[in-house]
Amino acid sequence: MQKIIEMAEILENEEIQDSIFRMTLSLPEISRMAVSGQFINIYTGLGENILPRPISINEIDAIEGNIIVTYQVVGKGTDFFSKCPVGCELKVVGPLGNGFDLSKKYEKNIIVGGGIGIPPLVELCKHIEGRKFVFLGAKSKPIYEDDFRNLGAEVFICSDDGNTGMKGNVVELLNDIQPEGDMLFSCGPKIMLKYVSKWAAENNIPAQISLEERMACGIGACVGCTVKIQKKGDSDWQNLKVCKDGPVFMSDEVIWDD
């Protein structure tokens, strides 16, 4: 998969929830190449923050040539992005990583998103043809609930504080609803993915999960962002790169650290 450097004009950059921003970037080339589940590297250009920020693709608008990302302000880099006005340009490298595997169609699809892991699942949802059962969790209010509904999904909501939907986490929600599925797709905090994977295994549902790890280059060179993966048939695990071998892995191949 070819990767390119492109200067992106910011077309929109709006706070949609406390410290969560939705940014539309004009990326005619990258938007043409990208698929759901991939990410882009956005550079701050600041001397102190030397590394790019790897951010998942929320939506791809290949017709307009735009990529939408939704990010949370967690440090200096994302704080800088949040203050960039419409019209300013950011350096972007992408598309990076492998997307979700959509080579097979499934009748019943379960999609599980947590917190700032929800955005890439919106683009994913557009490309799934069968029934879609979407489970979203967040501290107080999951983002993009309506977007999933508009894409024809049956949406179930939970929150840590009980502000929206069921009070609890997405695994409790899954246990409550007990959906049937032929494939599960998930993105969210590592601890959530660990228990979603366990739930999928217990219910004999294969799961594609999108992982995250601290990375430097995003293109497979620095070998910084590894996770322990044991491929089917292998006698031992290996450290694979989230950026190049992932970010999407089959959940039964992931070795979870405690």
Partner 1 sequence: MTDIDTTVNICGIEMKNPVTTASGTFGSGREFSDFVDINRIGAVTVKGVSSVPWKGNDSPRIAEVYGGMLNSVGLQNPGAKWFIENDIPFLKKYDTKIIVNICGHTIGEYCDIAEIMSDADVDMLELNISCPNVREGGIAFGTVAPMVEKVVKSVKKYCKKPLIVKLSPNVTDITEIAKAAVSGGADALSLINTLMGMKIDIKKRKPVLANKIGGFSGPAIKPVAVRMVYQVCKCVDVPVIGMGGIINSDDAIEFIMAGATMISVGTANFMNPKATTEIADGIEKFMYENNIKNLSEIRGIID
Contact residues for partner 1, defined by CB under 8 A: 2-5, 43, 47-52, 93, 213-217, 219-227, 238-239, 244, 257
> Is the CB of 99 or the CB of 165 nearer to partner 1?
99
4 touches 30 (CB < 8 A): yes
Least distance to partner 1, CB of residue 64, Å: 25
Least distance to partner 1, CB of residue 29, Å: 12
> Is the CB of 178 or the CB of 235 nearer to partner 1?
235
Least distance to partner 1, CB of residue 40, Å: 13
> Is the CB of 19 or the CB of 238 nearer to partner 1?
238
Least distance to partner 1, CB of residue 212, Å: 10
111 touches 135 (CB < 8 A): yes
CA 232 to chain centre: 24
> Is the CB of 93 or the CB of 209 nearer to partner 1?
93
> Is the CB of 16 or the CB of 222 nearer to partner 1?
222
Torsions phi, psi for 36 (to 5 deg): -65, 140
Least distance to partner 1, CB of residue 77, Å: 8
Tell me the residue type at 21. Answer: F
C-alpha to C-alpha distance for 127 and 188, rounded to whole angstroms: 20
User: How far is residue 28 from each of residues 4, 21, 34, 68, measured CA to CA in Å?
Assistant: 11, 21, 11, 12
CA dihedral 62, 217, 144, 191 (to 10 degrees): 150
